[in-house]
Amino acid sequence: MAFFASKKYDAVVCGAGPAGLMAACTLGRMTAGARRILLLDKKEPWKEPIFCAEAVSRDRLSALWPVDPSFVRGPLSGIYFTSPKRYRAEFYSKDCGLILDRARFHRSISDGCAAAGVECHYDALIKKLERTGDRWQLSVMAGGQTEQISAAVVIDATGPGCRLTRSIECLQGIESGDADLEPAIFAVAEGIEHSREHIELFFGSEFESGYGWIFPRDGVEVNIGFVLGKDAVHQGSLRQKLLDFIARDYPQAKVKAVYGGMIACTGANAKPFAKGGLFKAGDAASCVNPISRSGIVESLLCGKIVAESVKDWLDADSQANRERAEAKALARWMESLGKSHVQLARAKDVFNSISDKQFDRAAKRLSAMPREKQTLFRIFFNVLWACPSLIWKMRSFLH
**What sign for the dihedral angle of Cα 182, 187, 188, 194?**
negative
In a domain, 324, yes or no: yes
Residues 131 and 42 reside in one and the same domain = yes
At 163, the amino acid letter reads R
Q: Enumerate the H helices of the chain as residue ranges.
A: 18-31, 58-62, 102-115, 166-172, 238-249, 296-315, 319-333, 339-352, 356-367, 376-386, 389-398
Residues 255 and 196 reside in one and the same domain = yes
- Please calculate the CA angle 147-282-139 and round it to the nearest 5 degrees: 10
Residue 45 confidence (pLDDT): 87
Quick check: helix, strand or coil at residue 363? helix
Residues 257 and 276 reside in one and the same domain = no
Q: What is d(CA 337, CA 324) in angstroms, rounded to the nearest whole number? A: 20
- Please calculate the CA angle 157-169-144 and round it to the nearest 5 degrees: 50
**What sign for the dihedral angle of Cα 212, 59, 73, 160?**
negative
In a domain, 59, yes or no: no
Residue that finishes a domain, picked among 262, 288, 307: 262
- Full-model pTM: 0.91
Residue 362 confidence (pLDDT): 84
Q: What is d(CA 31, CA 311) in angstroms, rounded to the nearest whole number? A: 7
In a domain, 229, yes or no: yes
Residues 27 and 166 reside in one and the same domain = yes
Residue 177 confidence (pLDDT): 45
Contacts of 87 (CB under 8 A, 6+ apart): 360, 363, 364, 366, 367
Residue 1, Cβ density class (10 Å: 0-12 exposed, 13-18 middle, ≥19 buried): exposed
Residue 186 confidence (pLDDT): 94
37, 117 in Cβ contact below 8 A?
yes
Query: Which residue, among 105, 149, 133, 215, has the nearest Cα to 6 in the 3D structure?
Result: 149
In a domain, 3, yes or no: no
In a domain, 86, yes or no: no
Residues 38 and 123 reside in one and the same domain = yes
Residue 26 confidence (pLDDT): 98
Structural domain boundaries enclosing 250: 183-262
Residue 148, Cβ density class (10 Å: 0-12 exposed, 13-18 middle, ≥19 buried): exposed
Query: Which residue, among 211, 41, 188, has the nearest Cα to 124 in the 3D structure?
Result: 41
In a domain, 252, yes or no: yes
Residues 282 and 313 reside in one and the same domain = yes
181-190, strands of its sheet edge to edge = 55-57, 88-100, 72-82, 198-202, 211-216, 221-227, 181-190, 254-264
Q: What is d(CA 370, CA 2) in angstroms, rounded to the nearest whole number? A: 66
Residues 329/330/333/338 CA torsion (nearest 10 deg): 170
Largest CA distance in the chain: 70
Query: Which residue, among 167, 16, 168, 176, has the nearest Cα to 106 in the 3D structure?
Result: 16
In a domain, 279, yes or no: yes
Q: Any idea what DSSP says for residue 332? A: H
Query: Which residue, among 283, 273, 286, has the nearest Cα to 327 in the 3D structure?
Result: 273
In a domain, 114, yes or no: yes
Residues 162 and 126 reside in one and the same domain = yes
Residues 215 and 149 reside in one and the same domain = no
Q: Domain count of the chain?
A: 2
Count of Cβ atoms closer than 10 Å to residue 200 Cβ? 21
CATH code: domain of residue 287: 3.50.50.60
Residue that finishes a domain, picked among 349, 366, 388: 349
Residue 241 confidence (pLDDT): 95
Residues 232 and 337 reside in one and the same domain = no
Residue that finishes a domain, picked among 262, 296, 331: 262
Residues 329 and 209 reside in one and the same domain = no
Residues 236 and 203 reside in one and the same domain = yes
11, 135 in Cβ contact below 8 A?
no
Query: Which residue, among 262, 263, 229, has the nearest Cα to 348 in the 3D structure?
Result: 229
Task: Dump strand ranges (E) for 133-272.
Answer: 135-142, 145-156, 181-190, 198-202, 211-216, 221-227, 254-264
Residue 374 confidence (pLDDT): 59
CATH code: domain of residue 241: 3.30.9.10
Residues 37 and 108 reside in one and the same domain = yes
pLDDT digit of tens for each residue in the chain (399 aa)?
678 999 999 999 999 999 999 999 999 999 999 999 999 999 998 876 555 778 999 999 999 999 999 999 999 998 999 999 999 988 888 888 999 999 999 999 999 999 999 999 999 999 999 999 999 999 999 988 999 999 999 999 998 866 777 666 544 555 544 457 889 999 999 999 999 999 999 999 999 999 999 999 999 999 999 999 888 877 779 999 999 999 999 999 999 999 988 887 765 566 778 999 999 999 888 888 888 888 899 999 999 999 999 999 999 999 999 999 999 999 999 999 998 888 888 878 878 888 999 889 888 887 777 776 656 556 565 555 555 544 433 344 333
Query: Which residue, among 318, 338, 216, 226, has the nearest Cα to 271 in the 3D structure?
Result: 338
Q: What is d(CA 179, CA 301) in angstroms, rounded to the nearest whole number? A: 23
